[in-house]
Chain A
Amino acid sequence: MKKTKIRIISLLVVITLLQIGCTPYPVIQEPDTQRFNQTVHSTSLRDSLAEGKLTAGMPYFVVSKLFENWTDGIKEVQIPVATLGSKQRLVEEEGWSRNYVDPNIKVFLDKYETPKGNLYIWYERPNFYTMDVSWKDTLCVFYNDSVYCSVINYLNKSTLLTIKDSLPQLPADTDLYGEIRYKDHQWREVTYWYSLQILSNAKTFKLVDTNYELYPIEFLEFNNEPISSFKWREVSNEN
């Protein structure tokens, strides 16, 4: 009886292992939608994600999740580059073959080789200067199911801006979700999103420090052509 049990268990183990071995692993993983929705409130960005499209304005963690298990083609990530659109890795050398790179680099590039062609994704540390925010653009802040919008009066510095209206209903020392709606770039489908804190004067907003997982994607290129979105499910299905 014992021997029969052992044989049955062994057979089950072998079948299970064969099953695991033959299961096709997804090379492109779906991003963490829950985390995305907690981070980004922009309707257009949420719609893009639901449709399986990677677009400018999304946080970088979407890309890193999509290609987490990508082993089919060349994958180079976090390449330090000088500007958006540049593909040249920055590296300098001195002494006995020591390499160094300017630690102040703020633009990075990911390169993925897919069956349909090469995908390039640029992302950078956001601030109000690099994101083209300016006077008369509108800042919308989301708090407690309400949206508070006001026209931007001026930029104090790259991480600080002041709006025209006072918003005393917003709490200080709390990370708030904010979006910029551009006056001069209404053709843009997506707005950029920010984590902000309001200062005690109820008019000035400070950009909260972030890390590369939340850097916005700024620019995408596929087969050397700029693209507005990358439809990952189409690539995934072909595999």
Chain B
Amino acid sequence: MKIKKDFIKGNKKIKIISNDGQAYPIPEKWQPVLSKCDMLVVIPDMHMYVYNSHLDNFKYGADAMLKFLNHLGSLKEEMELVDQTLRIYQLGDLYEQRFPGLHGPNATAVEIRMSHPSYDQIINSMDSVRTHFLYGNHDFELRHFPSFRFAALEGKVYIEHGFTADSWTDFANPRAKYWEASQFVFLTIREINEFFANLLVAANLIPRDEFYSWGVTSGKDPFYNYPSEKDYLKNYGHCLKYYSDRMKSNNELKDTKITVIGHTHHPYIKTDVNNGKHIFIDAGAWTSGRSDFVVITNEELAICCYQR
């Protein structure tokens, strides 16, 4: 199956952003890379948070997500009519539960989902297209529920959120030794942030609309670019190295050819990992203005975006 012909199908909102707008062909000797489906779509980090909170950096991309899920729903039905399967994964960090907002210690997934009709509809639409959910470091609690998994294997494609490459000092690896303590520190930083931000708002030095927490952008402006390889290697080179080494040395998963992760919010493909033996894909994010996702068929793969 071809990505432009069989997935995009003339939808002008969907653009391939990797490999200069062209789908990357999967080496013939690897084919088929998928075993239980004919097409795989991977939706990366969304970080949905309570809709009215200034920490919610998903809301500006919510309408685009609903339209995208509608596209997936129609495609899935059409494929089923000809006995083909579309499988959809959400890579984790669906909800922002672990880096709490300022109005409370944290928000539960249900509170976030019910904070706006569009959010509830997004979750319902994801259910309708039978999305498979993984958990990430921001919604780590969801590991308690059977519908959320740590990782998945689809033929020769390994899918994981991607936090395991981080150390505890990144505040981002729930499996790291000092993670709980580092989370406590992070919350304290947020509380200090709240104090000073409120002072600035009260003094009319910053408007309330721009009252975002440090490191959290609103997502009001969309980003459809494909960042440079240099930036990725500089900031997230440890992720590439970690998963490249795993594909090389993990005998239990020796058939794995492609690893897909999210977590960094930085879309990136490397097709010559381990001297061309493997492919590494960072799916990017659907938050803070980005609206990336990955499509893999037995013949091609690409990182795409859905334009608002």
Residues from chain B with Cβ under 8 Å of A210 in the complex: 121, 124
> What is the CA–CA distance of A213 and B115 in the complex, to the nearest angstrom?
11
Check if B144 sits within 8 Å of A100, measured CB to CB: yes
Check if B110 sits within 8 Å of A211, measured CB to CB: no
Check if A97 sits within 8 Å of B97, measured CB to CB: no
Picked from B128, B142, B183, the residue with its CB within 8 Å of the CB of A100 is B142
B196 within 8 A of A: no
Assess A211 versus B121: contact at CB under 8 Å? Given A78-B114, A97-B105. Answer: yes
Chain A min CB distance to B167 (Å): 19
Residues from chain B with Cβ under 8 Å of A108 in the complex: 114
Which residues, 102 to 131 on B, are CB-close (under 8 Å) to A? 105-106, 108-111, 113-114, 117-118, 120-121, 123-125, 128
Check if A99 sits within 8 Å of B106, measured CB to CB: yes
Residues from chain A with Cβ under 8 Å of B106 in the complex: 98-99
A227 within 8 A of B: no
Residues from chain B with Cβ under 8 Å of A145 in the complex: none
> What is the CA–CA distance of A210 and B77 in the complex, to the nearest angstrom?
18
Where chain B touches its partner, the secondary structure class is: helix
Residues from chain A with Cβ under 8 Å of B98 in the complex: 98
Residues from chain B with Cβ under 8 Å of A97 in the complex: 105
> What is the CA–CA distance of A125 and B125 in the complex, to the nearest angstrom?
12
Check if A103 sits within 8 Å of B125, measured CB to CB: no
> What is the CA–CA distance of A143 and B110 in the complex, to the nearest angstrom?
35
Residues from chain A with Cβ under 8 Å of B141 in the complex: 94, 98, 100
Chain A min CB distance to B273 (Å): 34
Check if B114 sits within 8 Å of A96, measured CB to CB: no
A11 within 8 A of B: no
Where chain A touches its partner, the secondary structure class is: loop
> What is the CA–CA distance of A210 and B128 in the complex, to the nearest angstrom?
11
> What is the CA–CA distance of A92 and B106 in the complex, to the nearest angstrom?
13
Assess A212 versus B114: contact at CB under 8 Å? Given A100-B97, A125-B124. Answer: yes
Residue with the greatest number of chain A CB neighbours at <10 A, chosen from B73, B95, B109: B109
Closest chain A residue to B100 by CB distance? A98
> What is the CA–CA distance of A81 and B66 in the complex, to the nearest angstrom?
27
Check if A104 sits within 8 Å of B121, measured CB to CB: no
Q: Looking at chain A, what size class is its interface with the partner chain?
A: 20 to 34
Check if A209 sits within 8 Å of B125, measured CB to CB: yes
> What is the CA–CA distance of A91 and B210 in the complex, to the nearest angstrom?
33
A225 within 8 A of B: no
Chain B min CB distance to A60 (Å): 10
> What is the CA–CA distance of A7 and B85 in the complex, to the nearest angstrom?
77
A178 within 8 A of B: no
Check if B110 sits within 8 Å of A105, measured CB to CB: yes
B180 within 8 A of A: yes
Residues from chain A with Cβ under 8 Å of B195 in the complex: none
B147 within 8 A of A: yes
Check if A80 sits within 8 Å of B124, measured CB to CB: no
B184 within 8 A of A: yes
Closest chain B residue to A105 by CB distance? B110
Closest chain B residue to A214 by CB distance? B117
> What is the CA–CA distance of A204 and B105 in the complex, to the nearest angstrom?
46
Picked from A78, A98, A102, the residue with its CB within 8 Å of the CB of B145 is A102
Chain B min CB distance to A149 (Å): 25
A140 within 8 A of B: no
Check if B109 sits within 8 Å of A103, measured CB to CB: yes
Chain B residues packing against A (C-beta within 8 Å): 73, 77, 81, 95, 97-98, 105-106, 108-111, 113-114, 117-118, 120-121, 123-125, 128, 141-142, 144-145, 147, 180, 183-184
Could you list 4 further interchain pairs (A-B, Cβ under 8 angstroms) beyond the known A98-B105, A108-B114? A101-B110, A211-B120, A211-B121, A213-B117
Nearest 9 Cβ contacts at the A-B interface = A103-B109, A100-B141, A211-B117, A211-B121, A211-B120, A101-B108, A101-B110, A209-B125, A78-B114
Chain A residues packing against B (C-beta within 8 Å): 78, 80, 91-92, 94-105, 108, 125, 159, 199-200, 206, 209-213
Q: Would you mind naming 29 contact pairs between A and B with Cβ atoms under 8 Å apart? A: A78-B110, A78-B114, A80-B110, A94-B141, A96-B183, A96-B184, A98-B105, A98-B106, A98-B141, A100-B109, A100-B144, A101-B108, A101-B111, A102-B110, A103-B108, A103-B145, A104-B145, A104-B147, A105-B110, A108-B114, A199-B77, A206-B77, A209-B121, A209-B125, A209-B128, A210-B121, A211-B117, A211-B118, A211-B121
